[in-house]
Chain A
């Protein structure tokens, strides 16, 4: 069985997690990272996720963004996602799109006792659901096509992330992130779609990614305030494997 694990930039940590030495046989294969039955490759930038980026065709589900379609072909040798393989999508809870917005310096979830213009939970859910729209569409199409697939969650927010540095209150970030995770959990659960969530050990009590699991500077020394590291990826891969063997 081949299991393709693909997604946005948060997938990089999982690919790097393979190199943590959990499987000596793992290694690059045409740019994708192969770890036993797992083939890990990027679809591309997560910016496409809030809007429709896929469609169902007689051949299966195809991607509209050129980058996604090209990577599907390049790494998986597929032009469409059809029944026959198993697919994991790390395309959910990329919540930085929501909590990094400057509006959170003046607006605040009404459940939090913080100064600012209150935003009700229902309205927040509407905002978050809009952010989920494209991926929900993809998952609905995959179900209709009969594809075996599951969802993999992105890590929790970085404590040193752009939003924190730009002054968005930490409780606001944590609240929005938790709301999104809750909505995804419900939506996927209602449809019987499997979900792999981050290990609790990687999350601080107030809902952020533990600093030990944050990606370090890149090879040019530039700060990456956004992603998780290989250690996180290794833990997440273990959860993926556990999910695949126990589902």
Chain B
């Protein structure tokens, strides 16, 4: 029979980060040491790709700004002004897929890129003063004024899916930010939309569209399906998962939006924990905790308590990149085309020759 010794138990001698009082109560929420300890290194040689909810856009942007090797398989046309990138969904993720709020969307995107799934609902059209415009139901805001024709939409989508198909073979670390459990899907084939038809574009049809609130087992199974697909292509691939701290804009669950948000984020956070526990090639970055946990006292949210203020984004990014030091400054923009200089020179000479000025 073992002897009981008071003061000798598993909670003795743990690091400071294990004790709420020392790790949280008595320290500034801006300095929660040890909240993120990377499972693997991300350096200047690591090929990084990313997808996820809107909060994930910050991660991709920061990887680029800080000189990491962020992969963009659908880069903006060089002549497009950077100020126009966001409107056309360039430079946000590793391809122009827009926000992927759910793991089911992520899975279906790669199924579509592999030619394994072709949604029945392929295009939405709308009459406008400028004529008929067309929208891709799976990235409805990728062209701010829609496509000019169905053919234009289909050409763009084919090029987009070609780009998506190149992601997995050329990625060392895939970053995914879970956003929502609530989604809308097509009743006929289960294709998940990023937004409810009718909210931004398209028309809602109660017979064709149904609400779904993915459960913990469903989200876990979806992401595990993605892991299997990715590792089949690239067995050395690793994954960094996060949860967006941004609450739901609205819920269709019938519950209060705050309860619905907590349920959704709790499920996603639990899935991340399970993925972390099951797979040593999956890491978790606590962006959710850094913004939304109660020790932060909502200081990183805008007054609407939903959108994350720039200081909140900066805090999350600084925490992440403190653990992954920047390999160096971002690559410089490519030099101006030599043809440009040549023609400018010709122009100057033409003026000089004709007018002697």
Contacts and interface: CB of A to CB of B under 8 A. Distances in A.
A103 B77 contact: yes
Contacts of B343: 96, 100, 162, 226
A45 B351 contact: yes
B78 A32 contact: no
Contacts of A120: 143, 147-148, 152, 156
Contact of A218 (B78, B155, B342, B349): B349
B241 to A, nearest CB: 30
B351 A119 contact: no
Interface string A98-116: 1011110001001100000
Contact of A110 (B88, B156, B347): B156
Interface residues of A, number: 47
B357 A119 contact: no
A110 B356 contact: no
Contact of A123 (B88, B340, B349, B351): B88
B84 interface: yes
A123 B353 CA distance: 37
Contacts, number: 115
A20 interface: no
Interface in A1-50: 8-9, 12, 15-16, 31-33, 41-42, 44-47
Interface string A196-214: 0000000000000000000
Nearest to A116: B159
Interface of A is mostly: mixed
Nearest to B142: A120
A9 B143 contact: no
A122 interface: yes
Interface in B128-158: 143-148, 151-152, 155-156
A76 to B, nearest CB: 13
Contacts of B88: 123, 126
Interface residues of B, number: 36
A24 to B, nearest CB: 20
A245 interface: no
A166 B347 CA distance: 18
Contacts of A163: 339
A227 interface: yes
A127 to B, nearest CB: 5
B107 to A, nearest CB: 26
Interface of B: 77-81, 84, 87-88, 143-148, 151-152, 155-156, 159, 337, 339-340, 342-344, 346-351, 353-357
Interface of A: 8-9, 12, 15-16, 31-33, 41-42, 44-47, 71, 74, 96-98, 100-103, 107, 110-111, 117-123, 126-127, 130, 162-163, 166, 215, 218-219, 222, 224-227
